[in-house]
């Protein structure tokens, strides 16, 4: 399916927004950098092969993107940071906000599911 020019621009814009938020996440522990950079790579792949190639070859982000796309690998450090960020960000609604029980259960199930998915990924490519 061929995308229109406006769709390509939308994907490029979403890629830059995801990348910018991911870069902010390097400095703020509640924003998970790796998933946002992976999302940027996805958006760039739909909107601009040149930007996709640039991100794949980036010295900081490229290796994690390639490892995920080729082997579904998440490095241990990224796993630890993601689990910490998810735990903190999901505990706020559970313990600070006055939510009904069903909403608390939903938040807990989603958070635990995300953590389970991340932890279950391989740490390095199979040889």
Q: Looking at the structure, do residues 81 and 64 belong to the same domain, yes or no? A: no
pLDDT band, very low/low/confident/very high, at 112 (cuts 50, 70, 90): very high
Q: Looking at the structure, do residues 62 and 85 belong to the same domain, yes or no? A: no
Q: Looking at the structure, do residues 61 and 118 belong to the same domain, yes or no? A: no
pLDDT digits (tens, 9 = 90+) for 14-23: 999 999 998 9
Q: Looking at the structure, do residues 44 and 103 belong to the same domain, yes or no? A: no
Q: Looking at the structure, do residues 79 and 118 belong to the same domain, yes or no? A: yes
pLDDT digits (tens, 9 = 90+) for 30-41: 677 888 898 999
pLDDT exceeds 60 at position 42 = yes
Count structural domains, the chain.
2
Q: Looking at the structure, do residues 33 and 50 belong to the same domain, yes or no? A: yes
Q: When comparing pLDDT for 107 and 2, which is higher?
A: 107
pLDDT exceeds 70 at position 108 = yes
Task: Provide the domain limits for residue 106.
Answer: 74-127
Q: Looking at the structure, do residues 41 and 98 belong to the same domain, yes or no? A: no
Q: Looking at the structure, do residues 38 and 1 belong to the same domain, yes or no? A: yes
- What are the Cα distances from residue 86, in Å, to 20, 38, 43, 69, 113? 19, 17, 23, 22, 10
């Amino acid at each position: 399916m061929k995308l229109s020019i406006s769709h390509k621009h939308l994907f490029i814009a979403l890629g830059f927004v995801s990348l910018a938020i991911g870069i902010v996440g390097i400095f703020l522990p509640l924003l998970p950098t790796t998933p946002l950079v992976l999302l940027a790579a996805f958006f760039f792949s739909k909107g601009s092969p040149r930007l996709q190639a640039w991100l794949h070859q980036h010295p900081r982000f490229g290796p994690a993107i390639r490892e995920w796309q080729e082997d579904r690998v998440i490095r241990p450090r990224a796993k630890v940071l993601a689990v910490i960020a998810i735990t903190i960000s999901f505990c706020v609604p559970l313990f600070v906000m006055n939510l009904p029980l069903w909403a608390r259960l939903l938040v807990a199930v989603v958070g635990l599911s995300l953590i389970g998915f991340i932890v279950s990924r391989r740490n390095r490519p199979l040889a």
